[in-house]
Amino acid sequence: MLNYIIRRILYAIPILVGVNLITFTLFFVVNTPDDMARMQLGIKRVTPEAIAKWKQEHGYDQPLMFNNAEEGLEKITRTIFFEKSVAMFAFRFGRADDGRDIAYEIRTRMLPSLAIALPVFVLGLIVYIAFALTMVFFRATYVDFWGVVLCVALMSISSLFYIIGGQFLISKLWHLVPISGYSQGLDSAKFLVLPVIIGIISAAGANTRWYRTLFLEEMGKDYVRTARAKGLPESTVLFRHVLQNALIPILTGAVVVIPLLFLGSLIVESFFGIPGLGSYTIDAINSQDFAVVRVMVFLGSLLYIVGLILTDISYTLVDPRIRLE
Amino acid sequence: MSFKPVILWTDALVYVLVAVIVIFAWQVRRHEHLLAPWRRVGHSASGMAALTILMFFIVIGLLDTIHLRPAIENGNGGSEAAYGVEVLSLLDLLATPLRTQVETTYSAPFATHLYARETVELPGGGQVREFPRLKFGGAHLQDPEAQLASDIATRAGAGAGLALLLWFLIATSVTALVAHRRDERFMSTLSTIWRGITPVPWRAVFVTLALILLLGGAALALCSDYHILGTDKVGQDVFYQSLKSIRTGLLIGTLTTLMMLPFALLLGVAAGYFRGWVDDLIQYLYTTLSSIPGVLLIAATVLMMQVYMETHPELFDTIAARADLRLLFLCIILGVTSWTGLCRLLRGETLKLREMEYIQAANAFGVSHWRIISRHIIPNVMHIVLITTVMDFSGLVLAEAVLSYVGVGVDPSTISFGTMINAARLEMAREPMVWWALFAAFSFMFALVLSANLFADAVQNAFDPRMKTLSALARTWRRKSIGKNA
């Protein structure tokens, strides 16, 4: 087991290197730092001195891959590739264009993101499973049919409309909670209720439908027939046997997103003015702050890979038949 | 009127796509085993009703794809024709009144007056704050307050009546055709259709068609004299914008797949077929790409593309070409981020297929790898490609809206659902509220995505019977209720 985990972690390294190379190519080779400087300073009439100054201020004033001006090991370390891309493996993220420390921003903004993403994740899971179970319990009846129709309809609405509609109905018409904002501590609850509810509803269609399929697949298995043949009532079959077994694919499928919860949701956070990592990313995209976007791409893939490893481990925990070799 | 045809990049790809679909359909018609699952699609009521709606969207999208530059009238009668810089589509020309009747600012649907007070100079001197009359919306009315309702009713009634006539013609001719095919009398076919027991659910198709034609007929009759969905901040007709958004949505949903398909197919099949280091390399490639969260990769790439386009303005001659290229890039980028899922599926299926006896036999006969792949493997994985394509479509249309909101979507000058929502999102907070732009974007998008979802469901059900889809459910349910009645 430990052996396997170590091997998985080692296997993650080449993937992260690949991600790093992709971002490096995207951000520094496709467009040179000169292009970026020109973009930031305005396209027309930019003096070469202004570009040089901008590059120097933001630490882009070195050669890309190989520095001939330096001696020995510094030939490699004093380059953009080493200082901007390789440094990320040591979690040295550098500074954003406005001069703030990116690592500090990430640490402080992680909590607000988590405050929304975690309730959405946990409550969502419970709600979706409950609805899917109801539909399966009443399978091949009106309840099931209209339930699936509702799921498909919910899937067909853009998440933007859920947010706009929710803000309009609950905050503007009924004045139940503030439209947007955030505060520290327990006080923040009134700001979080609406984004959490909307987060749950906007993913409800696809997830409920998917869980229903998983439950139905489980219903077709032999042990269910045996349980019924023993004379167990349908509710016991469903809520004891089927639920337990169908939870394996559901939970292991959900594990992969747990690390990504830290990153928050881009649009929900920006609509509700939550100072999390999602709105940080959006702001960076809008102000074309490439340093921040680069860090978020790296962080996102790192967390995703962690999620994959966690998934593999959780498989062995919930299903003893699976052994990691 | 003379004009000069213009073929933008996306237009060319749409033509390629149409050609591919036509060739594919022709192939399917010739082979019974390929036709069988499509028959099952044709027998699904929700699928066919959805297809009817989709056809309308596709027709509008195609009309909007044929681009041209109309000639400018030359006052001195010069021999050389000059063409305007503005690139228009056939839809633009058909909807000229919608496109050109621009008010000054917001006006509500069917309004005759602006939505905001303006200072108007009185003829005798002096000023007054009032809601000015619209320049075009309901401008033919003498006394709007008294005439508006009856005028709208008569026009809508006339349009709907014509639409009903058209529907009647279509329905009768289809029924006659079905009767001829089934060798029955017209009336008996009509009654089977009416009771909804034909194999192809004609009743569902007719009902959907009637609904669309009624709505469309009334809208067509009204739209040249009223702004039926209001106008936006700069006075553009919202109905026109909604029509234009359809092409963008359809393009993103289809071209993305067209872009990624060759990569996914080739790499996925190669990985599964050759195994060994090829497999390792391709697996590494798609694991790396898929480990970057999609939105972030798209954002990073689009940002870089923006910088490139800003610093190389000489590459694009017209604004339309520039916006079009950006749309194409967006499709390519979306394709790059979304091919990994399909690639993984294809690899798995090919791994299974290559152990099959017929491929082992082909190997033993010394058939070349390329021939085995093209003759035996690719035709047998096409159903996966098809299901994924159809399933991805609605997700891509929805993704476009989110991406445009984030600021990494289509060019701001391209009309799309995303840009419409983005422009209108603050209008709900306005006093008095402006709701029609969002309403229009919502209803058009909902109709498009819902029908795409329903059609995808029918396709998936026909090609992959193991899935417990909506159509399957409807069928068992119908069977049950029929059994109960009997």
Is B107 within a domain? no
Q: What is the pLDDT of residue A264?
A: 82
Q: What is the pLDDT of residue B445?
A: 93
- Taking an 8 Å cut-off on Cβ atoms, the answer to whether A145 and B304 are in contact is no
Cα gap A264→B293, rounded to integer Å: 12
Which DSSP state fits B113?
Answer: B
Is B67 within a domain? no
Contact with chain B for residue A123, Cβ under 8 A: no
Is B123 within a domain? no
- Taking an 8 Å cut-off on Cβ atoms, the answer to whether B292 and A297 are in contact is yes
**Are the C-beta atoms of A275 and A112 separated by less than 8 Å?**
yes
**Are the C-beta atoms of A307 and A258 separated by less than 8 Å?**
yes
pTM of the full predicted structure? 0.89
* Distance between A280 CA and the closest CA of chain B, angstroms: 12
**Are the C-beta atoms of A310 and A253 separated by less than 8 Å?**
no
Cα gap B17→A319, rounded to integer Å: 46
Q: What is the pLDDT of residue A199?
A: 92
Contacting residues of B for A305, CB less than 8 Å apart: 291
Task: Show Cβ contacts of residue B298 under 8 Å, excluding neighbours closer than 6 positions.
Answer: B333, B334, B337, B403, B408
Contacting residues of B for A282, CB less than 8 Å apart: 406-407
Contact with chain B for residue A106, Cβ under 8 A: no
Question: Does A127 score more than 90 pLDDT?
Answer: yes
Q: What is the pLDDT of residue B58?
A: 94
Higher local confidence (pLDDT), A126 or B190: A126
Cα gap B222→B212, rounded to integer Å: 15
Higher local confidence (pLDDT), A113 or B71: A113
Contact with chain B for residue A46, Cβ under 8 A: no
Contacting residues of B for A140, CB less than 8 Å apart: 473, 476-477, 480
Q: What is A171-214 written as a DSSP string?
A: IIIS--S-SS---SGGGGHHHHHHHHHHHHHHTHHHHHHHHHHH
Reported as a single tens digit per residue, the pLDDT across A161-219 is 999 888 888 888 888 888 777 877 777 788 888 999 999 999 999 999 999 988 988 88
Q: Give the total number of structural domains in chain B.
A: 1
Cα gap B338→B345, rounded to integer Å: 12
Q: What is the pLDDT of residue A323?
A: 67
Q: What is the pLDDT of residue B486?
A: 36
Mean pLDDT score, A78-104: 79
Is B445 within a domain? yes
Residue of B nearest to A30 (CA): B304
One-letter identity of residue A234: E
Task: Show Cβ contacts of residue A61 under 8 Å, excluding neighbours closer than 6 positions.
Answer: A33, A52, A55
- Taking an 8 Å cut-off on Cβ atoms, the answer to whether A160 and B303 are in contact is no
Reported as a single tens digit per residue, the pLDDT across A223-241 is 999 999 999 998 899 988 8
- Give the A window 287-306 contacts with B, CB below 8 Å: 288, 290, 293-294, 296-297, 300-301, 304-305
- Give the A window 167-206 contacts with B, CB below 8 Å: 167-168, 172, 179
Q: Please count the other Cβ atoms lying within 10 Å of the Cβ belonging to residue B420.
A: 26
Reported as a single tens digit per residue, the pLDDT across A273-320 is 888 899 999 888 888 888 888 888 889 999 999 998 888 888 877 777
- Identify the CA nearest to B178 among candidates B162, B164, B199: B199
Residue of A nearest to B292 (CA): A301
**Which stretches of chain B drop beneath a pLDDT of 70?**
1, 73-82, 465-486
Is B300 within a domain? yes
Cα gap B333→B260, rounded to integer Å: 9
Q: What is the pLDDT of residue A50?
A: 79
Q: What is the pLDDT of residue B482?
A: 42
- Taking an 8 Å cut-off on Cβ atoms, the answer to whether B398 and A168 are in contact is no
Is B222 within a domain? no
Domains assigned to chain A = 114-318 (1.10.3720.10)
Q: What is the pLDDT of residue A189?
A: 81
Domain that includes residue B364, residue range: 238-474
| Token pair of A152 as six digits | 């498909």
Is B412 within a domain? yes
Which among A38, A216, A305 is the nearest to B311, CB-wise?
A38
Q: Please count the other Cβ atoms lying within 10 Å of the Cβ belonging to residue A283.
A: 15
Reported as a single tens digit per residue, the pLDDT across B64-109 is 998 888 877 655 544 556 677 778 888 888 888 888 888 888 888 8
* Distance between B155 CA and the closest CA of chain A, angstroms: 32
Mean pLDDT score, A51-56: 79
Is B28 within a domain? no
Residue of B nearest to A164 (CA): B425
* Distance between B289 CA and the closest CA of chain A, angstroms: 7
Cα gap A149→A141, rounded to integer Å: 12
ipTM for the predicted complex comes to 0.87
Which among A23, A140, A305 is the nearest to B473, CB-wise?
A140
Residue of B nearest to A266 (CA): B406
Mean pLDDT score, A136-164: 90
